[in-house]
Amino acid sequence: MNFLERQLEDPVRFSRIKRWFYIGLAVVALAEIVLPLMCYLLKLAFEALNLPALAELFHTHPPHFWFEWIPAWGSLYGLASCVVIIVVSKFLGKKWLMRREDYYDS
Amino acid sequence: MILDYLNLEWIHPGLLLILGAWVLPLLNGWIKRSAMLLLPAAAVAVCLRMTPGTYGEVGFLGQVLVFGEVDKLSLIFSYVFSIMAFLGMVYALHVQDDAQHVTALTYAGGALGVTFAGDLLSLYVFWELMAISSALLVWQRRDSTAVAAGFRYLLVHIFGGLIFLAGIALYWSQTESPELLEFVKMEPFADGAGWGPALILVAFLLNAAVPPLGAWLPDAYPEATVTGAVFMTAFTTKSAVYVLIRGFAGTELLVWLGAAMAVYGVVYAVLENDARRLLAYHIISQVGYMVCGVGIGTALALNGATAHAFAHILYKALLFMGAGAVLQVTGLRKLSEMGGLYKTMPITLWLYMIGAFAISAVPLFSGFVSKSMVISATGDVHHGAWLVFLLLTLASAGTFLHTGLKLPYYMFFGKDSGVRGKEPPANMLVAMGLAAAACILIGVFPGLLYQLLPNDVDYHPYTLHHITATLGMLVFTALGFFLLLKHLDPEPKISLDTDWFYRRGSSAFVALTQRPLARLEFGFVGEIYEFVIRRLVLGVAGLMREFDTRIVDSTAVGVGRLTQAISQILRTTVSGNAQHYGLIMVAGVLALLALTMFVL
């Protein structure tokens, strides 16, 4: 039994992994909202305190498009993309593209 | 000239592989295996030692061919092509099939030839060499589906090659210096450009697998041998990206083709059941980023396309090696038949996952530092920059969804199929390990890759915003995957692509046109035959017969009769008695005497 097998086969450990996954989701989404804001505020604070070297440390490259300013943009767009890709592709597949495996043989 | 070309000032690394490959069948055992590694290693060394300049100019039939156009762009592509040839040979080290090794090295050598080609004619020669040698790699799986797929692959590429040749001919007719067809940037849509550059562009797009010209890729790659497919992922599409960068940087059409292509590959990957075909659709998707970068055409975008090609060759080879390892030990290629392999193939799983993280642009892996350059460059698109950005980001989510989640889930985890593989041969694991190390090295130290890029651009991938947004996108894509998991179960089906037109379309076309054609045949053509051709022919034949019997025959009979009559007369003089002949001789002598006496 290797490491992964121990983690996945045991229901207690598996539900623990699941819990960590959900915590990870929350942390990442929060980080995406809070960290850039925090950096921006710290930069302003250090600039106000006349410490340009430290202010430079917290300089962030601003995003290019307006929608990237939406809080947790990456997380929201990631989830939306995933759902759209699956739903649209499956729809196209069922209605049009998918065929029997021997389609080209007959 | 030839000796100049071969002297030590400049060695063509492609020629080294192409000619060196033929030594392999003569060797045996460990000597052969060392030669298999030494050849591509020597090619890497030759590429690394090269300095920018123009080498290998050869005069041929009054034409100047340039085999060694060396600059930063060709150098970085030559590095990754030769490194890839080395990794591929490590992966194929256990294969006891000389033909495969010779064709694989020829194919890699062809790609290096394309990379250093300074004129269109030598480019064309290596272009065709790549098409033929890669078709051989498909055939060498030696079963009926592979043979059929190889023929389709070859026909498509011969078609592309003919378009390329036509483009060259038209371009040639307009060029000012016909003795040297230098391969430079072209303007296919400029006034007075003619059809030449446009046709060349189409040929390049066909090799880059841009839809609707790209169905050959997912058709053929999964049919190649386990080791041959690893070579195929690297060279054809990426050498096409390279020539697009050289010839068509900043062609706006490519921005949209690239963005559409990135999404197209992802859509098909949802439906795909064959593991290697799923990965093949993701080659199309990833090459979409590069084509898009070429279309944007700024210094950053071209650096992005180049860097992404470099990173892509390594992680895609790693992914194909992983799927190939599973195929090698289990004989399975369909996801719907796999599952539970993580228990017996953990090393393959982890190495595969490094490639999956790299293609998904997870921070600290190579895709993160290369793909982001192209996506950052979308800000410079003139019209609809936001849409290109959204499409490419959507395709990024789709890439992680399939290569990072769906494929490993159904291959290694998921429902236990009861199939128990074992780890593949050590050389395959070593090749995967080397490729995985390269993916991490580039991700952690992007400067190593950036210093090789053709343009000097100050770019920093690891910004706070970029890291947080990417992580957010990735983990929430994972959430979406697990929420919709039951809809994603791979189905034992195949999906229609544009190869339908030459696989079924032709027969459907025949079936569709059969009835009207038959009607035309028996009705119209038949009537024409009956009343026009037959009568005419019979009439003419009748006249000829008449002429034959009346004139020709009677002439012949007349001549015969005349001859008979004359011979009757002559017969009377030929009695068979010697005294008669003597009499005739005496009469003749007397007549001659009389003639001489009276006439002269």
Q: Which of B478, B498, B518 marks a domain boundary?
A: B498
Residues 7-36 of B with CB under 8 A from A: none
Q: What is the mean pLDDT of residues B540-558?
A: 86
Whether residue B475 lies within 8 A of chain A, CB to CB, comes out as yes
* B421 and B561 both lie in a single domain: no
* B439 and B544 both lie in a single domain: no
First to last CA, chain B: 83
pLDDT digits (tens, 9 = 90+) for B294-307: 999 999 999 999 99
Q: Which of B231, B248, B265 marks a domain boundary?
A: B248
> Strand B63-70 to strand B494-495: parallel, antiparallel, or no bridges (unpaired)?
unpaired
- pLDDT band, residue B1 (cuts 50/70/90): very low
Smallest CA–CA distance, residue A34 to chain B, in Å, is 10
Q: Which of B200, B223, B248 marks a domain boundary?
A: B248
Q: What is the mean pLDDT of residues B172-193?
A: 83
pLDDT digits (tens, 9 = 90+) for B450-489: 999 999 988 989 988 889 999 999 999 999 999 999 888 8
Judging contacts by C-beta atoms under 8 Å, the chain B residues touching residue A98 are 271, 491, 493-496
Nearest Cα to Cα of residue B324 among B348, B294, B298: B348
Looking at the structure of chain B, the number of domains it has is 3
Cβ atoms of B503 and A104 within 8 Å: the answer is yes
Neighbours of B148 (CB within 10 A): 17
pTM as predicted = 0.85
Smallest CA–CA distance, residue B333 to chain A, in Å, is 13
Q: In this structure, what DSSP letter does residue B523 have?
A: I
Residue B514: burial class (beta carbons within 10 Å; 0-12, 13-18, 19+) = exposed
Judging contacts by C-beta atoms under 8 Å, the chain B residues touching residue A25 are 475-476, 479
Cα gap B196→B167, rounded to integer Å: 4
Residue B72 scores a pLDDT above 70: yes
Residue B15 scores a pLDDT above 60: yes
Cβ atoms of B411 and B429 within 8 Å: the answer is no
B488: closest chain A residue by CA: A86
* B450 and B510 both lie in a single domain: no
What pLDDT is attached to residue B241? 97
Preferred mutation among A8, A37, A41, A75 to probe B, highest tally of B CBs within 10 A: A75
* B128 and B188 both lie in a single domain: yes
CB contact under 8 A, A64 and B463: no
Q: Which two tokens mark B142? A: 């030696």
Cβ atoms of B402 and B266 within 8 Å: the answer is yes
Largest interatomic CA distance in chain B: 137
Cα gap B446→B461, rounded to integer Å: 8
What pLDDT is attached to residue B202? 96
Judging contacts by C-beta atoms under 8 Å, the chain B residues touching residue A77 are 390, 393-394, 397, 473
Whether residue B392 lies within 8 A of chain A, CB to CB, comes out as no
Q: What is the mean pLDDT of residues B210-237?
A: 94
* B74 and B129 both lie in a single domain: yes
CA dihedral A49, A51, A52, A58 (to 10 degrees): -80
Phi, psi at A99, each rounded to 5°: -135, 165
Cα gap B224→B150, rounded to integer Å: 8
Residue B599 scores a pLDDT above 80: no
Nearest Cα to Cα of residue B585 among B599, B577, B600: B577
Query: Which conformational region is residue B394 in: left (phi greater than 0), alpha (psi within -120 to 50 degrees), or beta?
Result: alpha
* B474 and B516 both lie in a single domain: no
Cα within 13 Å of Cα(B355), Cβ side: 28
Where do the H-state alpha helices sit in B50-119?
72-91, 98-116
Smallest CA–CA distance, residue B274 to chain A, in Å, is 11
Q: Which two tokens mark B516? A: 């009207």
pLDDT digits (tens, 9 = 90+) for A38-78: 888 888 888 888 888 877 777 777 778 888 888 899 999 99
* B532 and B459 both lie in a single domain: no
What pLDDT is attached to residue B512? 78
Residue A68: burial class (beta carbons within 10 Å; 0-12, 13-18, 19+) = middle
Q: What would the DSSP string read from start to end of B349-392?
A: HHHHHHHHHHHTT-TTSHHHHHHHHHHHHGGG-SS-HHHHHHHH
* B521 and B482 both lie in a single domain: no
A71: closest chain B residue by CA: B469
Whether residue B347 lies within 8 A of chain A, CB to CB, comes out as no
Choose between B525 and B154: higher pLDDT: B154
Q: Report the alpha-carbon angle B450-B451-B454, nearest 5.
A: 85
Cβ atoms of B297 and B428 within 8 Å: the answer is no
* B244 and B258 both lie in a single domain: no
* B283 and B208 both lie in a single domain: no
- Strand partners for B119: B182
Cα gap B316→B482, rounded to integer Å: 25
Q: What would the DSSP string read from start to end of B524-586?
A: IIHHIIIIIIIHHHHHHHHHHHHHIIIIIIHHHHHHHHHHHHHHHHHHHH--S-HHHHHHHHH
Cα gap B152→B149, rounded to integer Å: 5
* B254 and B349 both lie in a single domain: yes
Residue B457: its H or E element: none
CA dihedral B73, B75, B76, B81 (to 10 degrees): 120
CB contact under 8 A, A60 and B413: no
Whether residue B198 lies within 8 A of chain A, CB to CB, comes out as no
Phi, psi at B464, each rounded to 5°: -60, -45
- 3-state SS, residue A58: coil
Query: Interface pTM (ipTM) of the complex?
Result: 0.92
Amino acid at B261: M
Residue B74: burial class (beta carbons within 10 Å; 0-12, 13-18, 19+) = buried
Least confident of A55-59, B127-131, B342-346, B564-568: A55-59
Neighbours of B552 (CB within 10 A): 11
pLDDT digits (tens, 9 = 90+) for B312-369: 999 999 999 999 999 999 999 999 888 888 888 999 999 999 999 999 999 999 999 9
A29: closest chain B residue by CA: B472
Cα gap B264→B370, rounded to integer Å: 21
Cβ atoms of B75 and B453 within 8 Å: the answer is no
**Residue numbers of the domain that contains B75:** 1-248
- pLDDT band, residue B527 (cuts 50/70/90): confident
Judging contacts by C-beta atoms under 8 Å, the chain A residues touching residue B492 are 101
Nearest by CB to A85, which of B270, B385, B495? B270
Interior/surface letters B203-212, b for 16+ CB within 10 angstroms, e for the rest? bbbbbbbbbe
First to last CA, chain A: 46
* B518 and B435 both lie in a single domain: no
Residue B118: its H or E element: none
Neighbours of B340 (CB within 10 A): 18
Judging contacts by C-beta atoms under 8 Å, the chain A residues touching residue B468 are 28, 31-32, 35-36, 74
Q: In this structure, what DSSP letter does residue B462 have?
A: -
Judging contacts by C-beta atoms under 8 Å, the chain B residues touching residue A101 are 492-494
Q: Which two tokens mark A1? A: 């039994």
For chains A and B, count residue pairs whose Cβ atoms are closer than 8 Å. Answer: 165
What pLDDT is attached to residue B3? 45
Residue B34 scores a pLDDT above 80: yes
- Strand partners for A98: B495
Cβ atoms of B240 and B208 within 8 Å: the answer is yes
